[in-house]
Structure 1
Amino acid sequence: MNPVQATTTAQRSRIGERVMAAINRDPLTAPHRTRNDALLAVAWAALATVTALLGDRELRPDALGWTLLFAAHVPLVWRRRGPLLVLLAVMVCIAPYHALENNHAAPIFATMVVLYTVAATGTVRRTLLTGTAVLGVTLLLNAVTNPDGTAELLRISGWVFAFLFCGIDVRYYRQFVAAIVERAERAERTREEEARRRVAEERLRIARDLHDLLAHSITLIGVQTSVAAHVLAADPERLDRETVAKSLDDIAETCRTARGELRTTLDVLREQGPAGQARGPLPGLDGVPDLVETARLAGARVESAIRVREAPPAVGAAAYRIVQEALTNVVRHAGPEPAVRVELYEEQGALRVWVTDDGCGADPTPDSTPDPTPTPDPALAAAFDLQSPGYGLVGMRERARSVGGTLDAGPRDEGGFEVRAVLPTGTDRGDER
């Protein structure tokens, strides 16, 4: 295709787009509609003048006929605002024009434009009633002025019905286009809402993962560091090097574990490789004994009863995180040497998690041997924010809801705190962390 042909094709395409845009546009809300209708009325009046002048000399309008012909085009300026009133005004001018035996073809353009506007902007019922009335008046005038004009009668009826059905067809087409546009906009809004919802869920999941990882690790590091600091400051002359070394080893091990989990979480966020490979294995029930042992190293007296062998991955991961957060809260808030019990068992198609503590420990007396697991000192507590309320309970409830379960947490009547969760195991709900 040469450049000239390409330019011609592009121009035709733009013209076609403009025509379709004009057809698709709602005539009642189109911009500059009054100005455009005024220009249309002038053009139609000029066309009617040419038709009357080129027609039969005997039917050429006289002064009154010209006045009625031009007056019939004036209401076209407001044809969109009140189609029926404009049609009535046009018929008031055209009826005597035809009765005076003027050129009958000249006012056809104005009449058909008004009929089209009525059909394109009104209901089908109103259009048919209006068309019947107009056709009745027209046929009555034709019968009076030209009783033998059967061909003229058929021609007039055909034009009236043609423009009415053309207007009805355009109206339905516009409704169809509007419905498609509305459906597309609704679908776009739905996609945007879904995207926002997924972003919110992803942000919540990231916050939950980071909280579970960092809160647990930093709490343990804070407690272990406090133990080492207490041993060093309690009696420097009788330094228990083994206890200090063990505390430092525990801190190093906690840091290595936290670093590994943090790296796994960052790999997920960066989407390195397929989702299943990037995430690595989910923590599950097999990791609960390690949580128990870690809590013991932090000074808690933990008893565990795990009477369940396996669970769906998502349920196992939720149970692991709930136990992790519950033990972290115990280490942070329950005081020195809290007595803790962790139970996991399956009952009625659900994994039940129960973590309780007594919320109190034996306070060391001034003359007693220094307690190797004291309460974290105020400086460490402030540094690691160990005493401020956080999102632990909210995160545990979200973990339970993510697999269709429930979680209750609160103080016990006999003292201490308890966490109870019921996690359905009947259906694997996917990889949810």
Structure 2
Amino acid sequence: MTVSARVRLVAPVVVLAVLSLGPLVRLGGLDGGAAVVSVGLVATALARRRAPLPALLVAAALLAAWWVGHGLTPQRLLPAGAVLFWLLAWVADRRPVREVVAATAVVVLVPVTLVVLALLGRPGGEAVVPLTAATVVAVVVGRNRRTRRSLLVALEERAVRAERERDAGARAAVAEERTRIAREVHDVVAHNVSVMTALADGAGYTLATDPERARGAMAQVAATGREAIAEMHRLLGVLRAGDEPGQDAPAPGLDQLDQLLEQVRAAGLAVTLTVAGTPAPLPATAQLAVHRLVQEALTNTLTHADGARAARVALRWGADALEVEVVDDGRGGRPRDPDRPPGHGLVGMRERFGAWGGAVETGPDRGGDGWRVHGTLPLGAQVPA
């Protein structure tokens, strides 16, 4: 126990002792028995924090012994007996209801006894009302302190819980944003590097036989690299403080599909695009999901499909959904480099479409030996939060 805690425990007891013994001195000298009982009563208050109910019972026993030996009269109602109501308030504040009821019953015996004596014609009946009032006040004050303390504890717990939830929400938002940026970076890097690799391989094969074509392929490599750098700046610009809003280029959508297909064609893969149905307005993030699906599917064809020479991209607009399908003519996948970690392209496709209530299916083409990627995007889906 700290020094300040000891002072808070002992100081009120010392004050009560002085206030209790003072009236005994003024009333004609300090009676030894009254002084001993008064000091004993006051001393019980030292246990009010650890054991308020036992302290109250001890104080009640001391008072009862004093009154039995000296008679229960107003003159014998020791001022130190006020400690009984103080301890009752502590019991009401710190202890459960059943102990509060027991302590109240013990203290109520005092006014009840006075009532009985008054009915028998003995003195003391005039103290019934103040003692009863003191009992009620002690219980009410104690329970009120308990209620206020419980309320403060509940408010503190709520504040701590709200702070934890806020921190958890902030961490979740940061993790979600990091995942989104990582997915975007993967799509951009994987596609453009795959295109650049295919172009560089083609330039190497034709360098000796067709220098002009090789130079054109290398020029396309440079253009693709510059485009990749520009898109990386757009994606990572949100991580730099101080950027002005509205300076980033718009996210790629359906209008950029032709440009994407030209890049893939330049890398040596013959790609065709067919559109069926009546196009409907799509939010920018939904268009981005479609664009990334086509981009990832064609990137996988360039990177993994063995012997793929052509691919078909189809957009089928329906009344309720947009179907996106990419099919290549490869003969199965190339062996994966064991030093290269597995990618997350398929996971990214499903996450993008899943955010809009859509679904993505991948697997062998049902009409040939190639690979098929099929996505369904509901047109009436709500904007994801």
Q: Give TM-score scaled by structure 2 length.
A: 0.85
Q: 1:230 aligned to 2:205?
A: yes
Asked if 1:360 is matched to 2:331, the reply is yes
Aligned mate of 2:109, from 136, 139, 142: 136
CA distance in 1, matches of 2:145, 2:53: 18
Q: Matches of residues 295-334 of structure 1 in structure 2 within 5 Å?
A: 295-307=264-276, 309=279, 310-334=281-305
Deviations 1:381-433 (A, max 9, x none): 99xx9965322112222222232322222344653322222222214516x9x
The amino acid of 2:260's aligned partner reads L
Q: What secondary structure sits across from 1:324 in the alignment?
A: helix
Q: 1:345 aligns with which of 309, 312, 316?
A: 316
* Aligned partner of residue 57 in structure 1, secondary structure: coil
The aligned residue for residue 9 of structure 1 is none
- What letter matches 1:114 in structure 2? L
**Residues 1:82 and 2:65 aligned together:** no
2:79 is aligned, of 95, 103, 106, to 106
Task: State the AA in 2 paired with 1:71.
Answer: G
Paired residue for 2:377? 423
Q: State whether residues 60 and 106 of structure 2, in contact with CA within 8 Å, keep that contact through their aligned partners in structure 1.
A: no
Matches within 5 A, 1:329-408: 329-347=300-318, 349-360=320-331, 389-408=342-361
- CA shift, 1:252, in A, is 2.0
Q: Tell me, which stretches of 5 or more residues in structure 2 are unaligned? A: none
Alpha-carbon contact 2:360-2:373 (below 8 Å) kept: yes
Q: CA deviation at 1:258?
A: 1.3
Structure 1 residue 35 displacement after superposition: 7.5
Q: Mark the CA change 1:53 to 1:411 in structure 2 (over 3 Å): closer, same or farther.
A: farther
Cα deviation, 1:15-36, whole Å, max 9, x if unaligned, reads xxxxxxxxxxxxxx99986775
Partner Cα distance (2:306, 2:56) in 1: 90
Report the CA distance between 1:143 and its aligned residue.
5.1
- Aligned residue among 84, 91, 102 for 2:60: 91
User: Which residue is equivalent to 1:264?
Assistant: 234
Residue of structure 2 equivalent to 1:120: 93
Q: Can you list the C-alpha shifts for 1:264-301, whole angstroms capped at 9, x where unaligned? A: 223333265565x2443221111122222221221223
CA–CA distance in structure 1, aligned partners of residues 66 and 266 of structure 2: 108
Give the distance between the partners of 1:215 and 1:271, measured in 2 at CA.
27
SS at 2:250's partner residue? coil
Match among 171, 182, 190 for residue 146 of structure 2 = 171
Q: CA deviation at 1:337?
A: 3.8
Which range moved further: 216-225 or 415-424? Answer: 415-424
1:38-89 Cα offsets, whole Å, 9 max, x none, are 55444433432234323x228x5433x3333222233333323332222111
Contact kept, 8 Å, 2:115 with 2:128, in 1: the verdict is yes
Structure 1: tracts of 5 or more residues without a match: 1-28, 362-374
Equivalent residues of 1:216, 1:325 under 8 A apart:
yes
Number of residue pairs the alignment of both structures matches = 375
**Pick aligned residue for 2:182 from 169, 193, 207:** 207
> Of 223, 230, 237, which residue of structure 2 is paired with 1:253?
223
CA distance in 2, matches of 1:289, 1:252: 19
Number of the residue aligned with 1:21: none
Matched to 1:423, the amino acid is: L
C-alpha displacement of 1:334 = 0.8
State the AA in 1 paired with 2:377: L
Match for 2:136 among 161, 164, 177? 161
- Separation of aligned partners in 1, 2:322 and 2:355: 14
Q: Secondary structure at the match of 1:418?
A: strand
| Matching residue within 363, 369, 372 for 1:410 | 363
Partner-residue secondary structure (3-state), 2:251: coil
Give the distance between the partners of 1:287 and 1:227, measured in 2 at CA.
Answer: 25
Give the residue type in structure 1 aligned to 2:351: E
Query: What is the letter of the counterpart of residue 198 of structure 1?
Result: A
Aligned counterpart, 1:37: 9
Q: 1:289 to 1:32 in 2, by over 3 A?
A: same
2: CA distance between counterparts of 1:330 and 1:248?
Answer: 21
For the residue of structure 1 that corresponds to 2:79, the secondary structure is: coil
SS at match of 1:306: strand
- Work out whether residues 69 and 94 of structure 1, in 8 Å CA contact, stay in contact via their aligned partners in 2: no
What's the CA shift for 1:194? 0.6
One of 162, 182, 197 as aligned partner of 2:157: 182
- Scaled by the length of structure 1, the TM-score of the pair is 0.77
Identity among equivalent pairs (%): 31
Higher relative contact order (CA 8 A, sep 6+): 1
**Distance in 1 of aligned mates of 2:3 and 2:191:** 64
Q: How far is 1:129 from its partner? A: 5.3
Cα distance 1:412–1:67, how it changes in 2: closer, same or farther (>3 A)? farther
1:15-34 correspondence to structure 2 within 5 Å: none
Question: Residue 225 of structure 1: CA displacement?
Answer: 0.8
Report if the CA contact (8 A) 1:332-1:387 is conserved. no
CA offset at residue 346 of structure 1? Answer: 2.7
Corresponding residue for residue 371 of structure 1: none
The one-letter amino acid of 1:289's match is D
Q: Distance in 1 between the 2:328 and 2:123 partners?
A: 109
CA positional deviation for 1:147: 3.5
Distance in 2, matches of 1:386 and 1:296, equals: 29
Deviations 1:148-180 (A, max 9, x none): 444422121222211211111111111111111
